[in-house]
Amino acid sequence: MIMAVVTMTDRPAPVTEAACEPEATNPWVKVWDPLVRIGHWLLLVAIATALITRGEPETLHQAAGYFVAGYVVFRLFWGISGPTHARFENFLASPLAAIRYLTHLVTGKGTRHIGHSPPGGLMVIALLVVMSLTAGTGMAMENRTPVPTALESLLQGEARAGGDDDDSPWEEVHEASANLLLGLVFFHLGGVLLASFGHRENLVRAMVDGKKRAA
């Protein structure tokens, strides 16, 4: 009887089917948080609205401009205190690193980044700077803000060259920065397409659902 008990207790436990299955791994990783994604698409609508209206109707143009200004403030805050991939410290890079990345990407040897790539990070900074300039000069025009003494002769000359003495001296700077912003948007779209083909992933979709391939 004792021998039977020992034999029964020494018998190995049956291996269940679940124990034999390998642990599933998630092929996707969450990268862009909801605020980054929603802000990105709303910003696109606001910039398109401001560029299309060009001041007519004035109320709609100004509303779009104020949204852009508000987004810049939010993005600066989120770049410091937001999630990992939204923070500036996660994607700030030198121009040399951006050029090296693009060179490798064109030759098919580009290093894939879960967050922003080096040129993508620089584009974020460039867009924020130009959006600040565009929105700031637009508000200066609306509020008839005096021109700083250091810029007075230059901006007043630009305004007179426009042919209307009643034009704000900020107008030329505002229009130039708006055109520069449009150029940056096209460069940004080109970079997204290039990286999407180079790394074989849909970066537009990633900005919709927030997910990117884990590897």
Whether 211 contacts 30, CB under 8 Å: yes
30-57 pLDDT per residue, tens? 999 999 999 999 999 999 999 998 878 8
Query: 2-213 has which CATH code?
Result: 1.20.950.20
Q: Which two tokens stand for residue 75?
A: 């993005």
What's the whole-model pTM score? 0.80
Whether 130 contacts 184, CB under 8 Å: yes
For the chain, the residue count is 215
106-119 pLDDT per residue, tens? 888 888 999 999 99
Q: Is the pLDDT of residue 22 over 70?
A: no
CA distance 158 to 164: 10
Domain range list for the chain? 2-213
Q: Could you give the residue ranges of the DSSP H alpha helices within 54-170?
A: 58-81, 88-91, 95-106, 118-142, 149-161
Task: Evaluate the CA torsion angle 96, 101, 104, 107 in order and state its sign.
Answer: negative
Q: Which of 184, 28, 41, 212 is nearest to 116 (CA)?
A: 212
